[in-house]
Structure 1
Amino acid sequence: MKAYRLLTADDTSAFCHKVTEALSKGWELYGNPTYAFDAANGVMRCGQAVTKDVDATYDPEIKLGQL
């Protein structure tokens, strides 16, 4: 199965570390990153979709971050 995650965080180095960690665990970038202003919190937010082929059957209880 192909697993999909959308990683999001404030525009800080923590977001880059989150994406780098996912890549180091075999996730692959999917599409372009997103960048938008969060007016409610007054910060810029980043997003990046990632996918990973895994040997598993889909279950809504799967913890995607642990794949």
Structure 2
Amino acid sequence: MRIYRFLSGPDDSSFCHKVCLALSKGWELHGSPTYAFDAASGTMRCGQAVTKEVEGAVYDPAMKLGEQ
């Protein structure tokens, strides 16, 4: 089964570290990153979709995707 996550965060090194951590756990980049202005906070935000193939897993809405 392939699972999907969307990572988001501020436009700083913490976002890059979040993506690097996901990649180190076997997640793969999916599509292009996004970059948008958050008017509520007055800051730029980044986003990146990632996917991962999980053998033998059965989808359950309660599963914690980051722990897969």
Shorter-chain TM-score category? over 0.9
- CA RMSD, aligned part only? 0.4
Q: Which runs of 5+ in 1 are unaligned?
A: none
Distance 1:61 1:38 in 2: 29
Q: Which runs of 5+ in 2 are unaligned?
A: none
Equivalences for 1:18-29 in 2 at 5 Å?
A: 18-29=18-29
**Partner of 1:57 in structure 2?**
58
Q: What displacement does 1:44 show?
A: 0.2
Identical counterparts, % of pairs: 69
Task: Give SS of 1:41's match.
Answer: coil
Q: Which runs of 4+ in 1 moved over 2 A?
A: none
**Partner of 2:35 in structure 1?**
35
TM-score by length of 2: 0.97
TM-score by length of 1: 0.99
